[in-house]
Structure 1
């Protein structure tokens, strides 16, 4: 133990004697470790944001979208329906589900679209969410002022609307929007409520730049369609979500008159399945980006090996003297290997400090959410140590094998 502590002390003395060279040698490790930890923190942050966003729309949800995902491409267009199956879901399907399902609290249709909202001489392009009165509790729409639209509003295709905070700021400023009339794609709508601010989602989309209107109003007066983009149902409990998903699938197959050998023209996914898929995607992203960043660590390791070989050449006479006074090969090996590891670990610590700084800045001044975990720090330090050992072993062995007589003759 005493021999090792002495080697560490000598290693730090060597670094202090060549500060600039030591820093330049560590730079590759600093960048590599910093990049890996920062990328992992961004990945973990994104995963948490995705989970939070999905959970934020409600609990125990079952999401039904048009089209069969086993046959068609994935992506956002799948969420709103591919051309051939986009009309697969209707409001009647929602009524059938609510009438026959025994494991659900309720179900609500949804149409998502983009429209221009106008108040006086001000315009704003917004996301339009159209649904039934049950969306308030199924989608977790929190009303700030006023009221949500009612079943009567849905039945009568009422021209009523609730607006998000960004829409209020852009169109009204400090004016109270309650009761005001706005135009959505040229049609008059009366504001009956405002929605509590939600902020941006994990992709940087402003969730408050939105309005919500009755589903029938959107179908009959705005878009002229008889289908919906999706149906969201709520299971009575988390324990029954799987059975409830099967129940919804059976009801829709029967409603769509599908033969036993016909594939679904819709896709049923539970909130848990969606979270698993999104979690897998963000994990793959994190691993891929971190692996790419890890290449910088390998480059840093090569830099350490090169500089240690230079150090062996410069200190050949010193090695000869140490061997002449009794130092064994293992002592020389330990000394140079320790110097290599100290270089690498010091670079790793500086890299972690750099990553923490970057993560804090990203968290405070951008839309990104970051989360530096203890695992990423331990992994980075472990990787730094392994890099130091792996790339330091050859220079250390070369130093240990030097002939003391020839080493003493070296000028």
Structure 2
């Protein structure tokens, strides 16, 4: 026991004899530990953000996009170029074929989008118009604040149903309830 007390007294004498060195050493340890803790916290935060982004897209989702090669696009002249510009790319029938041919595919939601305007009672705002099927909302885990998603019956029979974002709701309807109201797209 005396040995430990002797060692402690030597350590205290050394610290008191070299105050600046002791303070700088303590600060180095404190900043080092703080840096390690900060880096771990930043890493965990980034990991959580990435996992949330993946969860939004869907862990088991595959997104297939139709793109035209820019080199091919530049070689096409006149009306052929115009036809390719407005080519449907992947069609609804392609999506149904993917689902029927590949047994592990459970849900398919083709999507077409266009930048356009939405108009309601004279208010015109730019928006991204997306044509989707009801499975889209399941695949991408969207949460509605009000109303309902459209269903298969409405989709098959071409009913005029629109799901809008909160941003469009605020721009077009201010504080009014948009459910049941009409908007014009285009």
Q: What interval of TM-score do these two structures reach, taking the shorter chain for normalisation?
A: 0.5 to 0.7
Please tell me whether the aligned partners of residues 117 and 182 of structure 1 are also in contact (alpha carbons under 8 angstroms).
yes
Q: In structure 2, what is the Cα distance between the partners aligned to 1:140 and 1:18?
A: 58
State the Cα RMSD in Å.
Answer: 4.1
**Secondary structure of the equivalent of 1:89?**
coil
User: Residues 5 and 123 of structure 1: is their aligned pair in 2 closer, same or farther, counting only changes over 3 Å?
Assistant: farther
Query: Do structure 1's residue 119 and structure 2's residue 120 form an aligned pair?
Result: yes
> Is the contact made by 1:113 and 1:129 (CA closer than 8 Å) also made in structure 2?
yes
Superposed, 1:271-350 pairs within 5 Å as none
CA shift for structure 1 position 56:
3.2
> Counterpart in 1 of 2:51?
51
CA contact 1:108–1:134 (8 Å) conserved in 2? yes
C-alpha distance 23-172 of structure 1, shift in aligned 2 (>3 A):
farther
Deviations 1:309-360 (A, max 9, x none): xxxxxxxxxxxxxxxxxxxxxxxxxxxxxxxxxxxxxxxxxxxxxxxxxxxx
Aligned match of 1:13: 16
Once the two structures are TM-superposed, the CA of residue 123 in structure 1 deviates from its matched residue by: 5.0
**Which protein is richer in helix relative to its size?**
1
Query: In the superposition, relative to structure 1, how do residues 13 and 145 fare at CA in structure 2: closer, same or farther (>3 Å)?
Result: same
Q: TM-score, normalised by structure 2?
A: 0.63
Post-superposition CA distance 1:354-395 (Å, at most 9, x none): xxxxxxxxxxxxxxxxxxxxxxxxxxxxxxxxxxxxxxxxxx
The answer to whether the aligner puts 1:150 opposite 2:151 as a matched pair is: yes
Task: Say whether 1:171 aligns with 2:166.
Answer: no
Shift of 1:4: 5.5
The alpha carbon displacement at 1:117 in A equals: 3.5
1:117 aligned counterpart, secondary structure: strand
Residue 45 of structure 1, CA deviation: 1.2
Partner secondary structure for residue 94 of structure 2: helix
The aligned counterpart of 1:38 is 38
Q: Relative contact order (C-alpha < 8 Å, sep 6+): which is higher?
A: 1
CA 164–25 in structure 1, closer or farther in 2 if over 3 Å, else same: same
Farther off after superposition, 83-92 or 171-180: 83-92
Could you tell me which residue of structure 2 aligns to residue 65 of structure 1?
65
C-alpha distance in structure 2 between counterparts of 1:64 and 1:6, whole Å: 72
Q: Structure 1 pair 112/18, CA: closer, same or farther in 2 (3 Å)?
A: farther
CA contact (8 A) 1:66 1:82 kept: no
Give the C-alpha shift of residue 8 in structure 1. Answer: 4.5
1:93, CA displacement in angstroms?
1.4
Matched position secondary structure for 2:109: strand
| SS at 2:149 equivalent | coil
8 A Cα contact 1:118 1:124, kept in partner: yes
Aligned residues: 169
Q: Work out the CA distance in 1 between the residues paired with 2:125 and 2:106.
A: 36
- Please report how far the alpha carbon of residue 177 of structure 1 lies from its aligned counterpart in structure 2 after TM superposition: 0.9
1:116 and 1:4 map into 2 onto residues whose CA distance is 80
* CA distance in 2: counterparts of 1:142 and 1:168, whole angstroms: 15
Summarize deviations over 1:28-74 as a string: whole Å, max 9, x none: 973x765564344333212211212222344532333346xxxxxxx
**Deviation string, structure 1 residues 98-149 (Cα, Å, up to 9, x no partner):** 2233223221112355444343454544444431122232222334433322
TM-score, scaled to structure 1 = 0.33
